[in-house]
Amino acid sequence: MTDASALPGQPRGGVLSGPATARAVNVLAPNASAMTLDGTNTWIVSEPGSDLAVVIDPGPLDDAHLRRVVTTAGQAGKRVALTLLTHGHPDHAEGAARFAELTGTRVRALDPALRLGDEGLAAGDVITTGGLELRVVPTPGHTADSLSFHLPADRAVLTGDTILGRGTTVVAHPDGRLGDYLDSLRRLRSLTVDDGVHTVLPGHGPVLDDAQGVVEYYLAHRATRLAQVETAVEDGYRTPAQVVAHVYADVDRSLWPAAELSVRAQMDYLEEHGLI
C-alpha cells in the first residue's frame, strides 16, 4: 500500500463524507465514476457558532442527496443561507435549482445562466454569511467559468475541478484553455506562498493537506504532458486521437475521450505559441 504522505498533496485517507476543517463539512454525492472519482464533494461551510451555512456545489440532480445536504446542515444547527457554484458542469451544478427550492436560497455563480437571483460572482468578491469569510478566486482553465473559494480562517481553498483530490483534471476544450489553466495554477500557488493556504478541499476525491505540493505537481505534470504532445506532433502524430493513443497509452482507455479534450487544448496552446 502506498503511503498517502508520499502522494501529491498528501491526500487524507478514510471516509470522504464528514468534517474536513473547522468550517467545512463534505457530503459525498452518490455519482461515482471514472470521471467523478468517488463522487461529487458537496461542501457545507459555516463559521463555528453560527446558525447560517453556505453550500458549495450541490451536485447532481439527486433529490435524496440534496435532502441529505439540508439534513446534515440542520443536524449541526445550521440553516443553508446561500448556494455557490465552482462551475457549471452537471455533476456540480445540475441539482442547484432544485436545491434552491428546498432551501429558499439564491444561487451565485460566474455564469449568469446558472444564477438564481441578481448577484453573481466575480474576482475579488468576498462572501460574508453568518460571520464566515470566503474570497472568490478566478481559476479558469478546466472551464471558462471555473472559480475557487479561499477560506482564510482554515487556511484552505475549495477548488472544484481545478485541483482534484486524486489524479489530475481535464482542460475541457474548447471551453477550457491551457494558458488560462496554467495561470490559475500559479494563482493558487501564490495563495499557498503568500496567504498560508495548506489545505485543498477539492470537488472530487480526498482532502489534500499539502496544497503547495499538489500545485507544484500539477504544474510539473502539465509541463511534462505538453512536451510529450509537442514531441508526438513532431513525430507525425497529427490528430488529437493519434496523440492520445501515443502519449496516454498507459492511461485507462475509458478516460481517453477526456484526455482528447486536454490534448486539443494543449495543441491549441502549442499553435498559439508557434511551437507546432
Domain ranges (residues) in the chain: 18-212
What's the pLDDT tens digit per position in 136-153?
999 999 999 999 999 999
What pLDDT digit, counting tens, does each position of 154-205 carry?
999 999 999 999 999 999 999 999 999 999 999 999 999 999 999 999 999 9
Which three three-digit cell numbers place residue 116? 438564481
Identify any residues that bridge with 147 across adjacent strands, giving them in sequence order. 138
d(CA 88, CA 140) in angstroms, rounded, equals 12
Taking alpha carbons only, the member of 207, 209, 214 closest to residue 16 is 207
pTM above 0.85, yes or no: yes
Q: Judge: domain 18-212, CATH 3.90.1150.10.
A: no
Instruction: State the cell numbers at 51.
Output: 446558525
Integer Cα distance of 122 and 270 in angstroms: 29
Instruction: Give the C-alpha distances (Å, rounded to integers) separating 7 from 33, 82, 108, 145.
Output: 21, 34, 34, 29
Largest CA distance in the chain: 61
CA dist 112 and 80 (Å) reads 21
Q: Answer yes or no: is pLDDT of 4 > 90.
A: no
Cell numbers at 101, concatenated: 427550492
Q: Which residues contact 120 (CB under 8 A, 6 or more apart)?
A: 108, 109, 110, 112
Tell me the pLDDT tens digit for each residue of 220-255: 999 999 999 999 999 999 999 999 999 999 888 999
